[in-house]
Amino acid sequence: MKMQLAALAALSSLALPLAAHAATWNTLTGEAPIVVAHRGASGYLPEETLGSYELAIKLGADYIEPDVQMTKDGHLVAMHDTTLTRTTDVAALFEPRNGTYNVKDFTLAEIKTLTVKPTGALSRPDSTYPGFTPSMPDPYKVPTLDEVLVFLNAQNAANGTSVGIYPEAKAPFDAEKEAKIIASLKSNGFDTAADKVILQSFAHQSIINLTSLLETNGMEAEVAQLGSVRLEDGIYGVNGSDGFRTLDQIASVATGVGVSYGGITQSFIQAAHGLGLKVHAYTFRPLSEDEAFAMIQPMLNWGLDGFFTDYTDFGRTVVDAQHPAPVPLPAAAPLLLAGLGGLALLRRRKAA
């Protein structure tokens, strides 16, 4: 009851100037670090599906992340792996092709017959989450990138929110796939900075190409080089799928880096910020709030600009526990009191 009253009191403060509630952060921009739903709410529901993305949004994601692969007939689908084996029931429906089940060997029509299975550590075999019912039919089919973007537009329009999209062009470099990613974003209205798009890839050549494609198409978006932190001859950089690039080199074509959290140090974040680069960490998989605080809090103190997590609710809890907490959009009010994965504004922090 006390938490509900606190949430209602916080909601009433929305009438006050937002500046009075602005949080002070150590991030590059001074804004709150972003919580990125890694493949959706993948710790709870089948990853890279509309149902998983919907739950992640309800749990407080700032961005949802689809990995992008291309089918045999040239369609873009949300799928992390190059094969369909780990996350779908493909082996029960099809014989192997070329000895395996590569996404690129199946048509979109064939992939649409598959069902995505839950694989997260806290998922249930029946693909359910307490108190949550997906709003769409067949929520655990493999969606196309277009379908993810249409869904996100509808969610934002219905709820007055501005959840962003953080698609990954899977390595290796593929000019055709990347051109189609840009075309899909543009055709679905994700073409200005206000649309909150961050493009990412482990391949540096893809980063260069995506940046060029944005300019050619008159679009605005952030671009992040993925990889692991590396210190070479006293110079920080990122080791991606096609080699090491210094932060200076990355800053010439990108706006940020997405790096494995195990290698992040405060000095790395400071070096990146000094070049105008945001730092996002991947992938936090805490199985409790206590674990989430232990894993994420130190890096927020250093100035981390955002992070990927399979558990949006735990990540949201850590960010919202900072003082003062950010003020949400009025349209988010119903979720604050719903109790789905905790309050979206004032979440409990376990007593020490």
Active site residues: 38, 80
CA distance 299 to 57: 23
CA distance 223 to 212: 11
Q: What is the CB-side half-sphere exposure of residue 269 using CA atoms within 13 A?
A: 22
CA distance 228 to 213: 25
Instruction: Give φ, ψ of 101 to 5 degrees.
Output: -125, 55
The residue whose two tokens read 């526990």 is 321
